[in-house]
Structure 1
Amino acid sequence: MIRKSLFLLAAALLAVNTACTGSERAAGDLSRQKAGEENQVELVLYSTAATSEEEVRLKFSDPIEKQFPHVKIKYIRKDKGTNIEELIAAGQTFDLYYESVAFFNTVKTYQLAYDMSGLMKKSNLDLSAFEPTMIDYARAMSGGQAIYGLPVWSQNVVLFYNKDIFDKFGLPYPTNGMTWDELGELAKQLTRTDAGKQYLGFAASPAHMLRANQFSATFLDPKTDQPTINTSDSWKQIYETYYIRPASDPGYKHAMAGLKNKLPYKDPFLKDRNLAMFAYLSDLDWAASGAEGLNWDIAALPVFKELPGIGSSAYPFYWGITEQSKHKDEAMEVIKFLTGKEYQTQQARSGTMTTLNDEGIKRQFGQDSKHKDKNLEAVFFNSYAKLPSKSQYENDAQKAYEEAVHEGALGATDINTLFRKIEETAAKAVDAVKAKK
């Protein structure tokens, strides 16, 4: 009887102990689960570029969250009610911000700028791996030694051309390494009327060619904020080469009249298909979108004789951690991943230009894209022009320079008068912005 009682007591104690152990284990599992939930980090991403949610998800969010399972990217798309002024006024904070070359002015204007130098050192991020012009620009625009942003992807300007127009008139296709004089002669032969249809030899995107010009000329002096149109000798050559000479044919000017006195842009190349050559950003997808059956290819941007081998400047997109972020370490790891060799290689193969100074990655450009049969060597054929330091009012002055290219191409105003007009209009635009501050 005593033995039976002892046995029952032991069994009861064991049951109690087992129950306690199970409860403690369950409590421990729950604690770990809660700790895991607490380790989840949401990083808010914003850009004035208004990139679509789908593109951000495929290009950034999915790869980032796969690499860092504890990170969740919350992307806020620029739209009505979500421009940067409205969001900041409403108290919205961002962890990560990206934009093209205007990145540095934006982050300084809205007090988002944060020097990532310390975190870069902590995470062993090697700046020498990047294209030098992009890092030099980042340093210059961040005040010298600071780094507010790092380039994640880039574009430059290349020459798109319609092969069918060249075939129609029996002319050779543009080639890598051409000079602007050679392109000018080719454009003259292609600006002609055939069977009642006006063909145009060449046009250049006003905004992109001006901003990324091969002479690295800026709209404003970065020290004085004054227009440089009459103080920099290169502007005359830029306007004459890119815009005025190609439009000198009367038939070209007549075609401009039909375009509301504007130079031809995307539609004459993609839709009307009467524009033989078009200098535009190296985003190859735009040529394929809405242009089914267009027989196109690319060549490197022609070069000036005095600037051999120099193409446009880069058009990089910089990512930075914001001053307001409470998750700077995690944000730094994200940027390090996006600028790392593995991610950069994958993106290059899909057709996105790398920002790394890595010939092996450059050679893989576009190999997994639908454009792999194009002359992809053209994209990296030229060296980048220097990205110059810019005034914080550079964008405000751009409109004056950009609108004048059409007037110059029409030839209604001599170039000296045109340049005085640009100078006055740009100066007024800058003064107006300054007066609001």
Structure 2
Amino acid sequence: MVKKSLLVSAAVMVALTSACSNGSKQEAKSDPGTAPQQSQQTQQPAQPAVSKDPVELVLYSTAATSEEEVKQKYSDPIQKQFPNIKIKYIKKAAGTNIDELVAAGQQIDIYYESVNFFNTVTTYQLGYDMTDLIKKHNIDVGAFEPTMIDYAKAMSKNGGIYGLPVFTQNVILFYNKDIFDKFGVPYPKNDMTWDDLQELAKKLNRNDGGKQYLGFASSPSHTLRANQYSLTFLDPKTDKATINTAEKWKQIYQTYYVTPSADPGFKKTMVEALKNKLPYKDPFLKDRNLAMIAYLSELDWAASGSEGMNWDIAALPTFKDLPGVGSSAYPFYWGVTAQSKHKDEAMEVIKFLTDKDYQTKQARAGTMTSLKDDAIKKQLGLDSKYKDKNLSAIFYNKYAPMPVKSNYEGDAQKAFEDATHEAALGNTDLNTLFRKIEEGANKAVDAVKTKK
């Protein structure tokens, strides 16, 4: 989590607030992939001129994406599209954390991150309202999933827009078909409710030949942050914990963590093998005694440790009072920074990455599009090694709304997340546990505020 306490030197502050743009301009080549959107903007001025002079754009993310992935997915396609633009990627590591780079005066032209993007760019004064750039470069924000754009506008200052979603993820259900086959239990389906899943999980919580099998678990951090009721840890107006004011928190904890762990064998495994923690990646990928896990729709994750395992996916189960609603989206936003001296070039790069042609290619390779275009969604994974998986699961549910969040949301997360394990063990009733969450979250926020 990005630290919010940072004393920036006057020199650095000047660097952060300067925003000059290139003077030498030539007309850029139009992008055929965006033609359907641009046809609706015939009254817009001609494509903006962008310098053909050599330009180096510094790309950074707190996501610590591997250099190989950045090269294959971003740098090489960008270089092919814009031969004069060189992407210099700085990978997050010791010495290159965001606070260290900003304090050292390192210029960053393009920054990307998941939903914490807006907090980071605001904290480190990298946020830049791209509204005018978006208009100038003829980018149709109506082409994106509305919930992602609504969130971007709500989280940017003064109704601006600091970032555009380039790709996204959501929470889905992964399952080990071998375990289901072993016990003759039918596979999960896309249209399950949480009650349906709990019944499946009960049939898979069993000890066989001395090996304890576990029915279902979830990634607490992702299921909490992208929960289906769009609850936030903090009230964005008061920065106070919502655990005792938003009534649906009890249903979330009960459904995601308490009920699935009610089996005695499940609890015994938590205590004896998992150090009082809920099952997570290792029981699914390595030990292979966890039948189902709710996790982000990152298919490479499942493949990373599943050699020889027959796995597949299904849509996240839904609540009866929210039919057809899955998790909220988990988009990665890209933004031109306030300090960039090459804002037009950086904007053209982001435009290229959100263009229909690029988005289609990435979707076919297995990356979820941030566009609302159903034709692109239907091509998800067709050129990937996952084309035989149940890829319809990923877009089966509609997104839950992305709620406005406090800038201290990340600081409150630990109190909420730590409590999921306690809730699953069942040694403390939820009312008592929720008071503990409230106290811990509020103290964490107050501690950060006092350091500012």
The verdict on a shared fold, with TM-score over 0.5 as the criterion, is yes
Where in structure 2 are there 5+ consecutive unaligned residues?
1-50
Displacement of 1:310 after TM fit? 0.2
Aligned to 1:198: 212
Distance in structure 1 (CA, Å) of the matches to 2:305 and 2:199: 30
Asked if 1:340 corresponds to 2:394, the answer is: no
Q: CA RMSD in A?
A: 1.1
Aligned to 2:324: 309
1:159 partner letter = L
* Structure 2 counterparts to residues 35-46 of structure 1, below 5 A: 39-46=53-60
Asked if 1:150 corresponds to 2:192, the answer is: no
Distance in structure 2 (CA, Å) of the matches to 1:46 and 1:425: 32
* Structure 2 counterparts to residues 413-428 of structure 1, below 5 A: 413-428=428-443
Aligned to 1:235: 249
Task: Specify which of 403, 409, 413 is matched with residue 424 of structure 2.
Answer: 409
1:231 partner letter = T
Task: Specify which of 47, 52, 60 is matched with residue 74 of structure 2.
Answer: 60
Aligned to 2:291: 276
Aligned to 1:16: none
SS in 1 for 2:286: helix
Task: Specify which of 382, 397, 401 is matched with residue 382 of structure 1.
Answer: 397
Displacement of 1:194 after TM fit? 1.1
2:284 partner letter = F
Displacement of 1:196 after TM fit? 1.1
Q: Check whether the contact 2:173–2:293 (CA below 8 A) recurs between aligned residues.
A: yes
Aligned to 2:26: none
SS in 2 for 1:380: coil
2:365 partner letter = S
Asked if 1:364 corresponds to 2:372, the answer is: no
Deviations 1:258-312 (A, max 9, x none): 1000000001011111101100000001111122101100000000000000000
Distance in structure 2 (CA, Å) of the matches to 1:275 and 1:86: 40
Displacement of 1:143 after TM fit? 3.0
Q: Check whether the contact 2:241–2:438 (CA below 8 A) recurs between aligned residues.
A: yes
SS in 2 for 1:224: coil
Distance in structure 1 (CA, Å) of the matches to 2:159 and 2:416: 31
Displacement of 1:120 after TM fit? 0.6
Task: Specify which of 114, 119, 122 is matched with residue 108 of structure 1.
Answer: 122
Asked if 1:180 corresponds to 2:194, the answer is: yes
Asked if 1:247 corresponds to 2:261, the answer is: yes
Distance in structure 2 (CA, Å) of the matches to 1:199 and 1:121: 55
Deviations 1:217-251 (A, max 9, x none): 00000000000000001100000000000000111
Deviations 1:166-201 (A, max 9, x none): 111111100001000010111111101111111100
Asked if 1:324 corresponds to 2:339, the answer is: yes
Distance in structure 2 (CA, Å) of the matches to 1:75 and 1:240: 43
Q: Check whether the contact 2:52–2:84 (CA below 8 A) recurs between aligned residues.
A: no
Displacement of 1:144 after TM fit? 5.2
Asked if 1:171 corresponds to 2:146, the answer is: no
* Structure 2 counterparts to residues 346-357 of structure 1, below 5 A: 346-357=361-372
Moved segments of 4+, more than 6 Å: none
Displacement of 1:38 after TM fit? 8.2
Counterparts in 2 of 1:163 and 1:39: CA distance versus 1, 3 Å: same
Task: Specify which of 124, 131, 134 is matched with residue 145 of structure 2.
Answer: 131
Task: Specify which of 108, 126, 129 is matched with residue 94 of structure 1.
Answer: 108
2:97 partner letter = N
Distance in structure 2 (CA, Å) of the matches to 1:41 and 1:236: 53
SS in 1 for 2:266: helix
Q: Check whether the contact 2:229–2:400 (CA below 8 A) recurs between aligned residues.
A: yes
Specify the structure having the higher radius of gyration (Cα).
Answer: 1
1:209 partner letter = T
Q: Structure 2-normalised TM-score?
A: 0.88
SS in 1 for 2:437: helix
Task: Specify which of 252, 261, 267 is matched with residue 282 of structure 2.
Answer: 267
Task: Specify which of 273, 277, 288 is matched with residue 303 of structure 2.
Answer: 288
Higher helix content, 1 or 2: 1
Distance in structure 2 (CA, Å) of the matches to 1:217 and 1:143: 22
Aligned length: 402
